[in-house]
């Protein structure tokens, strides 16, 4: 027996399926991450195909026919972007954020707080000016919902960040998982709320690379993000 439900969600991925269908990965407010199929949406006369583009925030009605893939009956925009889909820089940052979500979210259970973080992040990106630290801020912010937020215990006695433990520690020449003092300080500067320290392009690159390595330690089968080279080019 099929079960129909309504939910808001963020489209993470859209793959072509058969001649007219799409298979979608969507993070929903009610059910967390899941895969869905929508039929007939790629027909030449279809006016709803754009609704299912990655990054879009949608309201959807779907049903689960037994053990088969859930099917979307209808969907519409829950929020209409003004700039995110047409501004190259904002779009590149948004794609990076969605790419990071796809690579990081493994649990299928609902997490309303995480959903609100995802939704608010995309809406804020759409509505506000771009700050060069946004990709780093997004990557740092996501860690708190995934359970491995870095400790902010940086100090004279602990100036080195340990990727494995997620803490700032004393120097340990035996460990290959500790960032050097310069990158550790860059990372800490990026973590501080209301921090006015400006990181230049090279510093931002080093911190973002360090964070991607940090994710590799704490997310099983974390894959290289295809959006990262594009993001670096756009923000260079």
Calculate the dihedral angle through the C-alpha atoms of 222, 123, 61, 16, rounding to the nearest 10 degrees.
-50
**pLDDT on residue 88:** 94
**DSSP bridge pairs for 161:** 168
Distance from C-alpha of 92 to C-alpha of 230, rounded to nearest angstrom: 7
CATH class of the region 88-235: mainly alpha
Q: Is 3 exposed, middle or buried (0-12, 13-18, 19+ CB in 10 A)?
A: exposed
Identify which of 34, 44, 80, 40 has the alpha carbon closest to the alpha carbon of residue 59: 80
Task: For residue 212, give both structure tokens.
Answer: 């991607």
**pLDDT on residue 1:** 41
Distance from C-alpha of 176 to C-alpha of 170, rounded to nearest angstrom: 13
- List the pLDDT tens digit at each of the 236 positions of the chain: 458 889 999 999 999 988 888 999 999 998 999 999 998 887 766 667 789 999 999 999 998 876 778 999 999 999 999 999 999 999 999 999 999 999 999 888 899 999 999 999 999 999 999 988 999 999 999 999 999 999 999 999 999 999 999 999 997 666 778 999 999 999 999 998 655 567 889 999 999 999 999 999 999 999 999 999 999 888 76
Domain span(s) for CATH 2.40.50.140 in the chain:
3-77
Distance from C-alpha of 134 to C-alpha of 199, rounded to nearest angstrom: 12
Domain span(s) for CATH 1.20.1440.120 in the chain:
88-235
pTM, full prediction: 0.91
Distance from C-alpha of 93 to C-alpha of 75, rounded to nearest angstrom: 25
CATH 2.40.50.140 fits 3-77, yes or no: yes
- C-alpha distances out from residue 205 to 80, 135, 146, Å: 31, 10, 23
């Amino acid at each position: 027996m099929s079960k129909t439900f309504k939910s808001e969600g963020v489209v993470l991925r859209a793959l072509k399926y058969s001649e007219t269908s799409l298979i979608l990965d969507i993070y929903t407010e009610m059910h967390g991450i899941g895969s869905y199929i929508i039929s007939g949406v790629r027909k030449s006369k279809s006016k709803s195909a754009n609704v299912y583009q990655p990054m879009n925030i949608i309201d959807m009605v779907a049903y689960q026919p037994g053990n088969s893939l859930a099917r979307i009956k209808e969907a519409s925009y829950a929020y209409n972007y003004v700039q995110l889909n047409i501004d190259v820089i904002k779009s590149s940052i948004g794609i990076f954020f969605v790419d990071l979500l796809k690579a990081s979210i493994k649990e299928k259970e609902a997490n309303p707080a995480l959903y609100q973080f995802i939704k608010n992040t995309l809406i804020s990106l759409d509505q506000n000016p771009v700050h060069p630290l946004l990709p780093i801020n997004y990557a740092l912010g996501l860690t708190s919902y995934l359970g491995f937020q870095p400790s902010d215990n940086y100090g004279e006695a602990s100036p080195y960040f340990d990727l494995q433990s997620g803490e700032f520690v004393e120097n340990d020449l035996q460990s290959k998982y500790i960032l050097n003092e310069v990158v550790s300080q860059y990372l800490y500067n990026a973590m501080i709320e209301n921090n006015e320290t400006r990181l230049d392009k090279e510093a931002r690159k080093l911190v973002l690379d360090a964070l991607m390595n940090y994710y590799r330690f704490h997310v099983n089968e974390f894959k290289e993000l295809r959006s990262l080279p594009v993001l670096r080019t756009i923000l260079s």
